[in-house]
Chain A
């Protein structure tokens, strides 16, 4: 890295490293890399204050391609490394780039606890529903019945919904976007970057080699408008090519209804409220899936709560005010001590 940078003068090029990008041609990861490199200079943060931390997998090659600080860590442990970094250096913008295998299989534990603590991390999960780097074994998001190298008769493991898992773990920002919609992805990533606290973004990402077409139903231009629900804060849940379908609640059961004459009016529909303190609506949306419901894309939840590092700093400041700064020597010789004779 060259000289310290002035945030306002940075461009996308300043965030492109000199490494050859080694993903398969056609991979959705390129789209995510391009959008994140484009987003960085818009945030007003000096380049030396960014850190990209990853684990293992195709997605985890990300730090090599960012001209920022970063670490290609150990499998599934990126949230732990990133949490430590954020605690030690709270002024940094710390990003975790992970995948469905890295975050939800071997790293499931670290993933949920980072969000439970509301550490101010941006966790971007590239979900291709397959193990790509190891050439095509099923992952925790592979769909039921899916035939892979390790499920030759079809997958009987029920897939995780990463969004539902993040909400369940208490993430204060949860969103979902898709690799082939550049404008939508840019908007969602910007929102995540600006959030204070754990920000989780699931990106549907096509693996062109081992799981090609996994998201055709919501990306193919001829059918996508009827298959996806674009979430907008403060607006009713409406979807379809002609915006003629909506989501209505019958008790606690959601249903798809037609809008218009002799049908429901927009006033009958559920309003999206990403800032609701209660995560019920967001969780309910996280359960929507094909074929009965449109797949929601956008921000499910965005609430401001004290972050882990804010509370940690406060904890230390309070203790110092109460007891003074203290020394390591005094600490070692306090409490229960023994003399070995």
Chain B
């Protein structure tokens, strides 16, 4: 033990080299993804004129901010070994209702807070079904998606809902700039910092990782797993609401059609790509930033190169497959603690 402490305490060049070699020998997925992103950025900067400008890079970041915020919410749930397929539905339905309220004269902050309550309620329902009725997260959140969509269509009647011109605060969030940086990027950065603080510095974060790593052990050591489930899905819903505000701010509308588009799979792509393993217990905010950066760079490059949309979808699919395979190799499924629906 003394020798071990001595080795840690001393920083001889030999020890440092050993530490470095161990570090580089098994790179984490975030590092791999960040390296690939860097390679792509360098490649595109050389091949595509106009890519490596501040304006374009800000555009790139702005276009994936919403995906990033949703990814943060999904990461919280996936780290705890869950899955939230209802995020996009919560985002679309709650903001659709908010826009309708605003058009009918309700003030913007009141409308947004009212639908925050709705979003949190749906998140809580998700958590309650998964924790108490013990339905696997995949099926529970899928069901909630359909229910939310149906309710949304019933209440809203149309698929496209438009913001009234008076919602200037909303437009600032979507289209404005703070200190020269587009507001969506600022909001993504702020959300990332808060989630990072929560995951790494609070006991809630520790419990999420514990539950993701080994749910049974977490339960046996006294972690309140059921309230934990409810809280994590409510947090995911909260971030979906934030993403929705940025969405409606930038497009001045909400489109219920996105619930049945590939948006939710793009979110899972960002999460898995960045290194938040689907078996839970690892990854963090850096993973989301890495995944979002890679997807954003790819999409931006494709748009500048005017690549056919079907080819874009194929490449996104291949990237997702590669990420899952890499995830499988680096973090094999722990059969002792795996559950149905994993």
Is B one of A's binding partners? no
Contacts from A to B (Cβ < 8 Å): none
